[in-house]
Amino acid sequence: MYELVQISEKCYYINCPAKIGVYLAEGDQVYLIDSGNDKDAGRKVRQILDRNGWQLAAILNTHSNADHIGGNKYLQGQTGCRVYCGGVEAAFTRYPVLEPSFLYGGYPCRDLRHKFLMAQGSDVTDFSDESFPKEVEVIPLPGHFFDMAGFRTPDGVVFLADCVSSRETLEKYAVSFIYDVGAYLETLDRVEKMKADVFVPAHAEVCADVGELVRCNRDKVQSIAERILSICGEPATFEKILQEVFRGYGLTMNFEQYVLVGSTVRSYLSWLKDGGKVRAGFEDSLLLWQRV
């Protein structure tokens, strides 16, 4: 874990739970793509940079999930580096309590205020700032999270963040987190058509052809949607739908899984309702969902 792997003349990745990209710019200046899940990850990254004689110019955050920004504060405090991110992700990176609050739908209890869902805040600079490395292309990849982005480096490497998961991850966790199902599917369509020498997904193997992985993730979305539609054959509350999803996929309920899977199921219901496949109605002070 935390091995440095070279994948092109200028690019590397640090092999850890959410892969951290390293782009070597001019001289000894490097840019990180994300920073790991906590202070310890940041410390390990710093050791790798020091061993190679590299200076950290900035961190380019793909999105604000805690496992991607957890090392920001430590590295920024140690080096004074900038942290770049865009859109809604900037607010979540500055104020990380927004992530568990958003997932829970209210003030998060202590069970949700931990490093896996709530990183430490860091100062951020927008991608549009003049200081952002001009040779790096920012690729919008919405869907998994609000304004998630990927990055293309000049030597043909594309860092894909969380827009695709490995087949093993999909099988293990069954319901991967998605904020906007429609946007996510559109992102998959765009990624499937992309050309690059190397693709680096944060939670899947590095590859030259991402097509099969995209199709696997798309199929998973469709199968989850069909399962939810089946559950909604009769009017059902959200809690009943969530219970059946957990039972159907053999998932174990705890606070973290409740908010991650629960938020995702709500997103599927919104997408299905907007697409005319389910309807929602109120009866006896209950919100009921039913397949059309």
Write out pLDDT tens, residues 114-173: 999 999 999 999 999 999 999 999 999 999 999 999 999 999 999 999 999 999 999 999
Residues written for the chain: 292
> What residue segments make up the domains of the chain, in order of their start?
3-222, 226-291
Helix (H) or strand (E) holding 98: helix 98-104
Q: If you average pLDDT over residues 233-256, what whole number do you get? A: 98
Contact 261, 245 (CB under 8 A): yes
Q: What is the pLDDT of residue 209?
A: 97
Quickly name the fold that domain 3-222 has.
Answer: Metallo-beta-lactamase; Chain A (3.60.15)
State the pLDDT confidence band at 81, using cuts at 50, 70 and 90. Answer: very high
- Residue 249 has what pLDDT? 97
Minimal CA–CA distance to 83: which of 50, 11, 131?
131
Percent of the chain scored above 90 by pLDDT?
Answer: 99
pLDDT band of residue 14 (cuts 50, 70, 90) is: very high
Residue 5 is given by DSSP the state E
Cβ pair 160, 201 in contact under 8 A: yes
> How confident is the model over 265-287, as a mean pLDDT?
98
User: What is the average pLDDT score of the chain?
Assistant: 98
The tens digit of pLDDT for each residue in 93-122 reads 999 999 999 999 999 999 999 999 999 999
Cα dihedral value 272, 287, 255, 224, nearest 10: -20
Amino acid at 259: V
Residue of 132, 136, 134 lying closest to 156 (CA atoms):
136
* Average pLDDT of span 252-270: 98
pLDDT of residue 64: 98
Mean pLDDT of 266-287: 98
Distance CA 252, CA 247 (A): 8
pLDDT of residue 23: 98
> Which CATH code is given to the segment(s) 226-291?
1.10.10
Counting residues of the chain whose pLDDT is more than 70, the rounded percentage is 100
173-191 pLDDT per residue, tens: 999 999 999 999 999 999 9
Mean pLDDT, residues 274-290 taken together: 98
From CA 209, how far away is CA 78, in angstroms rounded? 37
